[in-house]
Each structure stands twice: as structure tokens, then as C-alpha cells.
Amino acid sequence: MKKMYSILVACCLSLSFNAFAGSGKAIVPMFGADTTQPDWQRTNIFLSNITTHALNVQITVYQEDGTVVPSSSLTYVNFQNSNTQIGAGKSAYLKIDTVGWHFGYAIVQWQNSGTDQDAVGLVGAAQRQQALEWGHYIPVNNGIPF
């Protein structure tokens, strides 16, 4: 009986870990941006694909009131496939430039584009920039690949 219970627990744990393979999600805990001031501010979200194949990536940026930042305030740099993928071993970033002062957070999600089942796929950091001065960095997921 004890052996059967151990096998059942091992199977359940195996299934639960495999259910999350091939995708990941992390929160960027802050952004702040304002392009209307002479001392403008922006936030950049840097992401690196640490796999050997392209990953589908979606970044949703939320303002302080919970609304999604409009796409006109976002610039994708080094993304592929209409800004939906980051290539194998490549790095890319998203610039957040809002009109008027806004702040909030972002959710980064990735998924394998094929049958690969990577446990982790991205590593990243967010960085504030004010005018031509580079600000502080905030590691995404404490700098741990997700």
C-alpha cells in the first residue's frame, strides 16, 4: 500500500511539472513613462531568449488604472514575426513611451512555437530612462530564467 501511494504521488508530481513545460510567465513590477515633459521618461523591458529556437512572446503593459497601454505607446526592438517572437539565442526589448505621466506593470508570457517543451525560455530586466540618463534596472523574476 505504501509503495502504491509513493508511485501515485510521483506520477502526480510528474504530470504537474510537465503541464507547465513549454511556456512561462513573469511580472515586470513597475514602469513609468511620460514623453510630454522636457525631462521625458521611458521604461525599457529587455528580454533574452535562452533557448535554441524561436519563442512566441506576448507582453501586456497595464497602466495605473488597470487599462492596457495602447500599442501606439510601445516600440518593439529586435522582435520577429510581427513583434510576436524572439529568435533563438537573441535579445530584444520593448520601449514604453506614454503620452502624459503613466505608471504600472507588465506581464511577459512566452510559449514554444513548436513541439519543444522548455522548462525556461527567457531572462530579463526592466530599466527606467530619463532624458538621456539611464536609470535603475529591475530584474524580471529576480533575474532567474522563467
SS (H, E, C) 52-112: CCCEEEEEEEEECCCCECCHHHEEEECCECCCCEECCCCEEEEEECCCCCEEEEEEEEEEE
> Does residue 94 register a pLDDT over 60?
yes
Which residues make beta-bridge pairs with 33?
102
pLDDT-derived band at 2 (thresholds 50, 70, 90) equals low
> Does residue 89 register a pLDDT over 50?
yes
Q: Are strands 85-86 and 55-63 parallel, antiparallel or unpaired?
A: antiparallel
> Does residue 10 register a pLDDT over 60?
no
- Prediction pTM value: 0.82
Average pLDDT, whole number, for the chain?
Answer: 88
pLDDT-derived band at 134 (thresholds 50, 70, 90) equals confident
User: Where does 21-143 sit in CATH, by number?
Assistant: 2.60.290.11
Instruction: Write down the pLDDT at residue 107.
Output: 98
* Percentage of the residues of the chain whose pLDDT score is greater than 70: 86
Q: Taking the domains of the chain in order of start, what are their residue ranges?
A: 21-143
* Percentage of the residues of the chain whose pLDDT score is greater than 90: 72
